[in-house]
């Protein structure tokens, strides 16, 4: 199951610099471990903030919880989780690639999808 996860780091301003360096180094290793396991699929930084959006592919919400709580920065994370579901008009699922020749000329009224 795929989850879109937004994480904001709320690091205490009075925390020792050594703690920050150590925990951030541990976080890097833990994130790479999740990526190698196939759980963490993508990660995007939000410029100018200690925040990111990530795409997780795990068995269920419990597996996602386990992955997120395994991160060394977890105690300082503000996390929002958005479960994802397949959409019938997903270009990837329809085999449509950017710049592809012969794009469909279908009238969207021929195939209404009221649950966008």
Q: Distance between CA 7 and CA 75 in Å, rounded?
A: 12
pLDDT digits (tens, 9 = 90+) for 11-37: 999 999 999 999 999 999 999 999 999
Confidence of residue 116 (pLDDT cuts 50, 70, 90): low
Catalogue all structural domains in the chain, each as residue range(s) with its CATH number. 2-86 (3.30.70.1060)
Closest CA to 30 of 88, 86, 85, 77: 77
Q: Where does the pLDDT of residue 92 fall: very low under 50, low under 70, confident under 90, or very high at 90 and above?
A: confident
In this prediction, residue 57 has a pLDDT band, given cuts at 50, 70 and 90, of: very high
pTM of the complete model: 0.81
Q: Are 84 and 19 in contact (CB under 8 A)?
A: no
**Mean pLDDT throughout 89-107?**
79
């Amino acid at each position: 199951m795929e989850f879109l996860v937004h994480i904001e780091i709320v690091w205490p301003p009075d925390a020792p610099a050594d703690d920050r360096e150590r925990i951030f180094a541990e976080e890097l290793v833990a994130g790479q471990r999740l990526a190698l396991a196939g759980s963490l699929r993508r990660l995007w930084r939000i410029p100018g903030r200690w925040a990111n959006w990530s795409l997780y592919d795990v068995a269920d919400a419990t597996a996602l919880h386990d992955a997120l709580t395994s991160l060394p920065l977890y105690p300082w994370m503000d996390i929002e989780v958005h479960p994802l579901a397949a959409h019938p008009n997903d270009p990837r699922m329809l085999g449509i690639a950017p710049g592809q020749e012969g794009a469909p000329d279908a009238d969207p009224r021929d195939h209404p999808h009221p649950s966008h």
